[in-house]
Structure 1
């Protein structure tokens, strides 16, 4: 699969974060932010369907982008160059197979991201992973909605969850999730499921993770609440600080009580409970 890198000059990190949030509504599968440029990666075959809308979005922000084709065989080398290991406060290390192992005594999980989102380096994944570590999942069953690499499902399994449904709409993410759960030896308790929120109809969970984006969270909040057992926890991320009131209001409208929020690099995580 060939990819296209959209290179966008940015004035600062804040502008880059806003553009990432906006572009996440399109089929971009990864983002890389430097000091003065944001790179957004999208499968070449999917660019034609949204290029006009993307260009209009950039124009609204007064910026323009340059599209550069990337051959598929160069993608893994790009990841190895730009994907660092992620440390969650010394409590967990998320790394790729080509990184050095965690220091002795520090738990770790191994993730080969390929084209899927969820390496631990992005602020939203970091926030969610820390939230999972703090949740107390031993013996509980849950859902990882928009699972990407499966990283949060794997963390939950390592924390004692007895079963996690890992749902993602993207076929590549589903395949990558299967590889990663096998690499971490948690096939027995993590079940990848290809599809959207309709896949969870009739299922119930003690916890739900949804690291997606604001619009999808608002759209699917009713389904999350319906699937959550009384006393169950919903952790959400993929949105900025300005979006927190709308997310919390939507959750409360479904009978979910606000528990806590956390921030990192302008991105937010919200924890609610049924």
Structure 2
């Protein structure tokens, strides 16, 4: 059966949003491109009117153009495998799909079959979160992965020796994908559920909280993260631009955290906060 490919030209700020919207229409896989995003769906399931409705929804916020192509299944598989290349972080992490051969030269070999989910490591925010995690000792720790997507951050924490990892997302397809990827990487200590931060047991406390979301969710929920953090714990956040970093930092400091690190890539930012015993 043939696939339909839609090539979207749009601002990087809206890539994740369009992925989520198109996945609701039945798109199975996505590839981020220099121009924006390519999505793939079985030809009989493609509804251009529904796609146009999604684009119209954001028309007053950003410019979005698209092109539609028909691909034979064989060609679609080739296109997917050609575009989905392994990524490397700090010469220690290699993120690959299951059709790539492993490379023993990396300390962490993470297999991610993303399906509808994003968070393959190709986006700057995910890559920065992974880089931050390399400098946080997760061995024997408890970890909370907020908005887990593919589960990539939870998987690295588990590979680093975390005793228990709780991951959640609001999307059902993301939950299924995170569970599949956790199994692919033999990470049995990862628990995944569908919901929001408010479904996390309020009596639990975590050593490390990972939140690669967006500016608005972070500004609202950072105080909730802090309540779930143990003394001498760490919060890693990303999903926002450089101009938003001061607001995120201010919210973290107001909640009792100390900023201890910052990474930037292509105007995206990731911050590291610590919760000090003497500060709370």
| 1:27/1:46 contact within 8 Å kept | no
Match of 2:196 in 1: 196
- 2:165 aligned counterpart, secondary structure: strand
CA distance in 1, matches of 2:259, 2:140: 24
Give the structure-1-normalised TM-score: 0.82
CA distance in 1, matches of 2:185, 2:101: 16
Task: Summarize the alignment of residues 34-49 of structure 1 with structure 2, pairs less than 5 Å apart.
Answer: 34-35=33-34, 37-39=35-37, 41=39
CA distance in 2, matches of 1:49, 1:198: 32
Match of 2:269 in 1: 268
Identify if the C-alpha distance between structure 1 residues 114 and 33 changes in structure 2 by more than 3 Å, giving closer, same or farther: closer
Identify if the C-alpha distance between structure 1 residues 225 and 113 changes in structure 2 by more than 3 Å, giving closer, same or farther: same
Match of 1:109 in 2: 110
CA distance in 1, matches of 2:95, 2:112: 7
- 1:218 aligned counterpart, secondary structure: helix
| 1:205/1:228 contact within 8 Å kept | yes
Task: In structure 2, list runs of 5 or more residues that go unmatched.
Answer: 24-28, 276-280
CA distance in 2, matches of 1:106, 1:91: 5
CA distance in 2, matches of 1:213, 1:72: 34
Task: Summarize the alignment of residues 1-274 of structure 1 with structure 2, pairs less than 5 Å apart.
Answer: 7-9=7-9, 16-20=11-15, 27=21, 32-35=31-34, 37-39=35-37, 41=39, 54-55=55-56, 57-62=58-63, 64-65=65-66, 79-104=80-105, 106-187=107-188, 189-202=189-202, 203-274=204-275
1:80 Cα shift? 2.5
Total equivalences in the alignment? 265
1:185 Cα shift? 1.0
| 2:264/2:270 contact within 8 Å kept | yes
Task: In structure 1, list runs of 5 or more residues that go unmatched.
Answer: 11-15
1:244 Cα shift? 0.4
Deviations 1:164-189 (A, max 9, x none): 101111111111111111111111x1
Identify if the C-alpha distance between structure 1 residues 183 and 21 changes in structure 2 by more than 3 Å, giving closer, same or farther: closer
1:55 Cα shift? 2.6
Give the structure-2-normalised TM-score: 0.80
Deviates further, 159-168 or 97-106: 97-106
Identify if the C-alpha distance between structure 1 residues 68 and 89 changes in structure 2 by more than 3 Å, giving closer, same or farther: same
Identify if the C-alpha distance between structure 1 residues 105 and 74 changes in structure 2 by more than 3 Å, giving closer, same or farther: closer
Identify if the C-alpha distance between structure 1 residues 39 and 109 changes in structure 2 by more than 3 Å, giving closer, same or farther: closer
CA distance in 1, matches of 2:152, 2:220: 24
- 1:219 aligned counterpart, secondary structure: helix
| 1:206/1:232 contact within 8 Å kept | yes
CA distance in 2, matches of 1:157, 1:67: 40
CA distance in 2, matches of 1:95, 1:116: 15
CA distance in 1, matches of 2:224, 2:77: 36
